[in-house]
Structure 1
Amino acid sequence: MNYIPISNLEQWRSLLADPNKQWVYGYSAYELAHAWQGEMKFPASIEQLLLDSGISMMRELDPIAMFPEHQVHLDTRQAPSQNDLFVLARTSTDLMTIMVEGKVDEPFGPTVADWLKDASAGKLRRLQFLKEHLHLSSIDDERLGSIRYQLLHRTASALIEAKRYHARHAMMLVHSFSDSAAWLEDYDAFLALYDLQGGANAIAGPVRVKGIDLWLGWISDRQASDFEVFS
Structure 2
Amino acid sequence: MKLRSLGRDNNLLEPIKRKMKRIFVPTISGSDWQRLLGKPKLHWKKGYSAMSAAACWEDNHPNLPSEIVETLHSTDELSLKSLELLAAIPEWEVDLPGGDRPSQTDILAITRNENDLVILAVEAKVEEPFGPTLEEKKNGASEGQLSRISYLEDMLGRTTPFPSHIRYQLLHRSVSALLTAKSFHSSIAVMLVHSFSQSSKWRNEFEAFCSELKCTSLSNDVWEVPNIKDGRLLLGWCKGNPAYLAMELPSGL
- Indicate whether the TM-score tops 0.5: yes
Contact 1:188 1:198 in 2 (8 A): no
Deviates more, 1:172-181 or 1:217-226: 217-226
Matched AA of 1:179: Q
Contact 2:92 2:104 in 1 (8 A): yes
Match of 1:181 in 2: 200
Q: Structure 1 pair 11/77, CA: closer, same or farther in 2 (3 Å)? A: farther
Contact 1:181 1:200 in 2 (8 A): no
| Distance in 1 (alpha carbons) for counterparts of 2:43 and 2:217 | 28
Please give the per-residue CA displacement for 1:7-62, whole angstroms capped at 9, x wherever unaligned: 21111122112222111111111111111114221111111112222322211322
CA drift of 1:102 comes to: 0.5
Q: Structure 1 pair 128/94, CA: closer, same or farther in 2 (3 Å)? A: same
| Distance in 1 (alpha carbons) for counterparts of 2:128 and 2:104 | 15
| Distance in 2 (alpha carbons) for counterparts of 1:59 and 1:26 | 30
Matched AA of 1:178: S
Could you list the runs of 5+ residues in structure 1 that have no partner in the other structure? none
| Distance in 2 (alpha carbons) for counterparts of 1:148 and 1:216 | 14
Query: Is it true that 1:87 corresponds to 2:106 in the alignment?
Result: no
Match of 2:133 in 1: 111
Could you list the runs of 5+ residues in structure 2 that have no partner in the other structure? 1-21
Deviates more, 1:70-79 or 1:59-68: 70-79
Structure 1 residues 111-150: aligned runs within 5 Å: 111-136=133-158, 138-139=159-160, 141=161, 143-150=162-169
Match of 2:26 in 1: 5
Match of 2:49 among 17, 24, 28: 28
CA drift of 1:199 comes to: 11
* Amino-acid identity (%): 34
Query: Is it true that 1:213 corresponds to 2:232 in the alignment?
Result: yes
Query: Is it true that 1:61 corresponds to 2:83 in the alignment?
Result: yes
> RMSD over aligned Cα, in angstroms?
2.3
Please give the per-residue CA displacement for 1:72-112, whole angstroms capped at 9, x wherever unaligned: 10115821101110111112132111110011110000101
CA drift of 1:211 comes to: 2.1
The structure having more radius of gyration, on CA atoms, is: 2
TM-score (norm 2): 0.83
Structure 1 residues 145-224: aligned runs within 5 Å: 145-196=164-215, 202-205=221-224, 207-224=226-243
Find the residue that maps to 2:163 and give its secondary structure: helix
